Amino acid sequence: MNLAEARTGFYNETMTTRRAAFVYDSVLEQYPYPEGHPFNTTRAKKARDLAESMGWLSGPGIQEVPPEPVDRLTLKKFHTAQYIRSLKNAADGKWDSHALAMGIGSADCPVFSGLYEHATLATGASVKGAHMILNGEVDVAFNPSGGFHHAFPELAAGFCYLNDTVLACMVFAEAGKRVLYLDVDVHAGDGVTYAFKDRNDVMTISLHENPKILFPGTGFEHEIGEGPGKGYCVNVPLPVGTYDLVYVNVFESLVIPLIKSFNPDVFVLEFGADALAGDPLAHLQLTNNTYADVINHLLHFEKPILMTGGGGYHVGNTVRAWALGWSILCGMDDGIDLSMGMGGVMMESTEWHGGLRDRELIIPETQRISVSSAINKTVETVKSLVFPIHGL
């Protein structure tokens, strides 16, 4: 047993033989958001199919696992009974003004056929992955249909109805595990921050675009938690135009030291892909190589990882990012992009023929200067507010 195994008690495999679960059910595709809505549920299926075509859903230690709908008792650990009832009633055609006051039926969170079934099954997939890790069945798990980090106890927001990420973190925390929740979605993980803002057994770290110009309008540097949770809520707003090099520098200078200090038992990674260049709802310029770097950094700690999907509104870019992330997570990535040259045939896209990994972007000098200046101020502010609490 290595040091990581001794500390967590449920990480049993080496990095090259880690056990992995891809949590997915095609039933989820039977309940699409309304036509024209930015949230496209086919992303998960396309990522799954791409992974299957590469042989990444089978083999030693790898399994594809169907989820079960989350039960009401589990939902009530975060969501109110009134909210759950209103969500179910709205899905059954009994929508009213009280539901709208909770965000149900808004432009962002419309009522549609199968809404409740989709939300409970997608949430159940993250809960399923958490239990599999906790029970020692797998070391890593990925639910591409999850990542609904904007849902609050009694509020649907930002395309999110039920907060699977909060409930997954609770599964681990209730078992006495220290949880590091990392959110790389371009939008701040406000619902998760709210859930754990006064706790120190779950550290939440969110790297996102400047909330002055992007939903949800929260997630500033000074939002660091309260009471016992002060310093365990970390928000890192990023300027427009943030690119790979500065993002990785921020991750290595802020996130890595905090992980080492907090010493979590398990990671929960919200893998929203809307920080990628070209996303229609955001303004950052990352390539999926940065996401690969982040996942590899986490794997070096040799702790279990539950990864979920999230945002990502350029479907092709999101699918490639999630497939690449899964290949790294499950140990099938050896640094050689075997998908090179597949181009539009297997990627269902003609925009980039270089395989799963994005091409390197050329960043103008003016952008480098402006982004670096803003990033440096953010890093220093976060360090001054949070690092002393952790003895850093």
Q: Which residues are catalytic?
A: 150
Dig out the tokens for 331 from the structure.
Answer: 């140990």
Q: Cα–Cα distances in Å, from 280 out to 270, 318, 353?
A: 19, 12, 21
Cα angle vertex 182, ends 44, 256, to 5°?
135
- Give the Å distances, CA to CA, from 114 to 9, 30, 84, 122, 146: 39, 8, 15, 12, 16
Residue 228: Cβ within 10 Å count: 12
Whether 231 and 386 have beta carbons less than 8 Å apart is answered as yes
Q: Say how far apart CA 43 and CA 52 lie, in whole Å.
A: 14
Using DSSP, state whether 177 is helix, strand or coil.
coil
Residue 229 and residue 226: Cα distance in Å, rounded? 5
Q: What distances in angstroms separate CA 251 from CA 9, 97, 180, one per listed residue?
A: 27, 43, 14
Report the chain's terminal Cα–Cα distance, integer Å: 30
